[in-house]
């Protein structure tokens, strides 16, 4: 948890650490602070990997791949996949929606609705549009906004440790 808290402060302090290096570390850390519902029999050997997907232009370069290389969540390996189209998204656990897809956010969120996918973006108003985690900058610090209604609809449980460092929002009623 100290890592998550310190990341909130780092951007303004280290010119050598890029914004997307920090966001890559955040994405990796979300794995540890979110619980997904069981999706397959627990005796499957080997267990399926935990997938972090990127939809649209990839702002991370190699940072995300390097961050998760060799890492595991229990017995599950962690892998990164890149997608150009919504139809290509398979059993993704975390889906980072690039700013290049900003115009299509409602369509993308509709496509993964009611699936246990942690949707993440740094696009404007992402959390208020129904995305689960939105990166935003406040006083030169990367912060996160979490939409609890969207997380509950995806049947995901977010740790109180992560919620403590986040701005929590609810989906506006329409």
CATH of 2-36+58-169, one of 1.10.8, 2.40.128, 3.40.50, 3.40.720: 3.40.50
Other beta carbons less than 10 A from residue 147's beta carbon = 24
Tell me the mean pLDDT in the region 117-145. Answer: 95
Q: Give the count of alpha carbons within 13 A of 72, CB side only.
A: 7
Tell me the mean pLDDT in the region 99-109. Answer: 96
Report which of residues 25 and 3 the model is more confident about: 25
Tell me if the bond preceding 57 is cis, omega within 30° of 0: no
Tell me the mean pLDDT in the region 66-86. Answer: 93
Residues 6 or more apart from 7 whose CB is under 8 A from it? 22, 25, 26, 29, 142
* Two tokens, residue 46: 């080997």
How far is Cα of residue 6 from the mean position of the Cα atoms in its chain? 18
């Amino acid at each position: 948890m100290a890592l998550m808290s310190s990341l909130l402060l780092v951007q303004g302090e280290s010119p050598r650490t890029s914004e997307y290096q920090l966001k890559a570390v955040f994405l990796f850390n979300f794995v540890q602070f979110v619980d997904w519902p069981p999706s397959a029999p627990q005796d499957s050997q080997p267990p399926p990997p935990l997938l972090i997907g990127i939809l649209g232009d990839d702002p991370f370069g190699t940072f995300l791949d390097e961050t998760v290389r060799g890492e595991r969540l229990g017995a599950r390996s962690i892998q990164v996949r890149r997608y150009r189209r919504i139809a290509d998204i398979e059993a993704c656990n975390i889906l980072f929606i690039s700013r290049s897809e900003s115009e299509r956010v409602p369509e993308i969120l509709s496509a993964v609705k009611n699936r246990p996918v942690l949707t993440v973006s740094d696009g404007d108003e992402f959390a208020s549009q129904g995305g689960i985690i939105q990166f935003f900058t406040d006083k030169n610090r990367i912060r996160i906004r979490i939409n609890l209604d969207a997380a509950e609809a995806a049947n995901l449980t977010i740790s109180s440790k992560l919620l403590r460092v986040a701005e929590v929002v609810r989906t506006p009623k329409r």
